A = this chain, B = another copy of it.
Amino acid sequence: MKASRARNLPTPSVQRLPVYLRFLKEARRRGDDVVSCTRIAEEFGQLSVQVRKDLAITGVSGRPKVGYRVDELIEAIERFLGWDVKTTAFLVGAGNLGTAILNYEGFAEHGLDVVAAFDANPALFGKEINGRLVYPLDEIADRAAELRRQGRPVEMGVVTVPARAAQPVADRLVEIGVRAIWNYAPVRLDLPSDVVYEDVKLSASFAVLTNRLRRRDLEIVAD
């Protein structure tokens, strides 16, 4: 896991690419062919040099006094992020969080192709959520084998189960051969080093917010 993390720096630059991408797609819709680094920096309240550095990881550099070609930059970001191809995925945990993810179309635009959902709760078996059926978790290996035979191996597992169920679910996903796990459960997973993974850290986001609020309070008191 350490090796996998170390290899993927600079993470903050990667994390900023989606917002640049959204901005560039809006620019394309408006008919802009070229956009300057300064313009992007202004939009996001960042330093121009930081934007240039972020975008450079995709292999594209802007031309001095001209800027970036919008089409070229969109393509480079999507290729760098792997968003130019479809990623076949299973989602495990068809409760409210899983349903919210299945209903949100934004990830599909980034290539996420959730082909089936799984749950341990029989009340959910056979339910259809935004076009995907919910299967019994016990059938996950059979479904994966079927897709493999169709030439669509499952590459990613999206884990939206409660914390206590996350590790056993991750183990099953590893068994069926997924190569990536996107974990929404508030727990660290123990995974083989050849499986890439990412935790959605909602507590980290909440920490940043409440820390800001606390600091703001202290400033007001100090005033």
Contacts and interface: CB of A to CB of B under 8 A. Distances in A.
Interface of A: 1-2, 4-5, 7-8, 11-12, 14-19, 45, 80-83, 87, 95-97, 99-100, 103-104, 106-107, 110-112, 155-156, 179-180, 182, 186, 188, 194, 196-217
Nearest to A203: B18
- The A interface is mostly helix, strand or loop, or mixed, namely helix
Nearest to A97: B100
A1 B46 CA distance: 11
A215 B100 contact: no
14 contacts: A1-B45, A8-B212, A15-B208, A16-B204, A81-B211, A81-B214, A83-B207, A96-B97, A106-B203, A110-B203, A155-B213, A179-B216, A182-B206, A198-B209
A207 B1 contact: no
Contacts of A202: 107, 200
